[in-house]
Amino acid sequence: MFTVFFVGTAGSGKSTLVGRYAEFLEDMGFDVAVANMDPAAEVLPYVADMDVRQHVSARRLMRDYGLGPNAAIVASIDMAITEAERIKEEVEAIGAPYVLVDTPGQMELFAFRHTGPLLVERLSGDRSAVVFVIDTTYAVSPTGLITSLLLSLSVRVRFNKPQIDVLNKVDLIGGEELETVQHWLENYEELQTVLEREAHARMEYGLAHSISNVISSMGGAQNIIPVSAKMGQGLDAMYRALQQIYTGGEDFQLPP
C-alpha cells in the first residue's frame, strides 16, 4: 500500500487536490482510496472512503465541551491517535493499493504537535510520501517563496518522509509570473540575488539570506511541481514524482 499524505497551510488546496488527484488516478485505472483525516472539515470536495469525523469530530467537541475551534482540532487529533489502529484497519479493508490522505487545514496543529507525525507513522502503508501543498499566490514574491520553502523543510523534518512540494493554484497567476517563479527555482542563485535586492534596505536581509542558504544546502528548491487542483494542470508531473518515490528507482510498478 502506498500512502500519500497531503499537508499544507490553511486553504492551500489540499482537499481539492486530493479529490482531483484521486480522479486522475482512477482515470488511469488505479484503485484509489481517499481518507479524510481533517476532523474539522465542513464540506469535502470528494467522497471519503474513510472519514475521521466518524471517529472524532471537532464540531462535536466544541459543542459538548465548549472548546474553541483550535482547541477542538487539537483535542480531536489527539483523540484520533487512540483510534489509529481502527482507522488503519478501515483503510486497509478498502483494499486499494493507492491511498490519499487529506490532513487538517491548520497545518501547524497537525505537523508541529506530537500526535500529527505519530498518526502519519501509524497510517502509513509499506511505502508512503508527503505532498506539501504551497499556495502559489503567496509564493510569487522572493520572500513569499523562500518562506514557503522554509515551511516545506520544517514539514520534511517533522514527518521524515520522502516529500514533494507542489505549487498549487497556478491558474490564478499569470504565465509570466509562473515563469519567473520557475526560473528562480531552477536558478537558485538568481533567487538569492533578487532576495538580497528586495531585502536590501531592510533589517531582515541577513536573516533572509541565511534562510536561503539553509534551503539551498538542504536541496529544498528541488522537486517543486506547479499544479492546479482546480484545472487539473501538472497532475501528470506530480504522478511521475510520486511514482519515482514509490519505486525508489527500482523496476517495479504500483499495481493498477
Ligand X SMILES: Nc1nc2c(ncn2[C@@H]2O[C@H](COP(=O)(O)OP(=O)(O)OP(=O)(O)O)[C@@H](O)[C@H]2O)c(=O)[nH]1
CB of 227 to ligand X, least distance (A): 7
Q: What's 61-98 look like in SS3?
A: HHHHHCCCHHHHHHHHHHHHHHCHHHHHHHHHHHCCCE
Q: Which of 172, 214, 218, 237 binds ligand X (CB under 6 A)?
A: 172
13 is a site residue for ligand X (CB under 6 A):
yes
3-state helix, strand, coil in the chain (%, to 5): 55, 15, 30
Binding-site string for Mg ion from residue 8 to residue 47, where x marks contact by CB under 5 A and - marks none: ------xx--------------------------------
171 is a site residue for ligand X (CB under 6 A):
yes
Q: Which of 76, 152, 168, 212 binds ligand X (CB under 6 A)?
A: 168
Instruction: Report strand pairing: 2-8 vs 98-102.
Output: parallel
103 is a site residue for Mg ion (CB under 5 A):
no
Q: Which of 33, 37, 38, 242 binds ligand X (CB under 6 A)?
A: 38
d(CA 35, CA 51): 6
106 is a site residue for Mg ion (CB under 5 A):
no
d(CA 136, CA 148): 9
Which partner from the list Mg ion, ligand X, none does 103 bind, CB cut-off 5 to 8 Å by kind?
A: none
Contacts of 239 (CB under 8 A, 6+ apart): 21, 24, 25, 28
Residues pairing with 8 in the sheet: 133
d(CA 44, CA 176): 32
d(CA 54, CA 132): 26
Residues pairing with 98 in the sheet: 2, 32
Residue pair 31/97 in contact by the 8 Å Cβ criterion? yes
137 vs 141 by CB, closer to ligand X = 137
Q: Which of 16, 124, 143, 163 binds ligand X (CB under 6 A)?
A: 16
Q: Which stretch binds ligand X (CB under 6 A): 124-132, 185-193, 222-230, 234-242?
A: 222-230
133 vs 221 by CB, closer to Mg ion = 133
DSSP string spanning 134-147? EEGGGSSSHHHHHH
128 is a site residue for Mg ion (CB under 5 A):
no
Residue number of the CB closest to Mg ion reads 15
Residue number of the CB closest to ligand X reads 105
Q: Which of 1, 33, 229, 238 binds ligand X (CB under 6 A)?
A: 229
Residues that bind ligand X (CB under 6 A): 8, 10-16, 38, 105, 168-169, 171-172, 228-230
Residues that bind Mg ion (CB under 5 A): 14-15
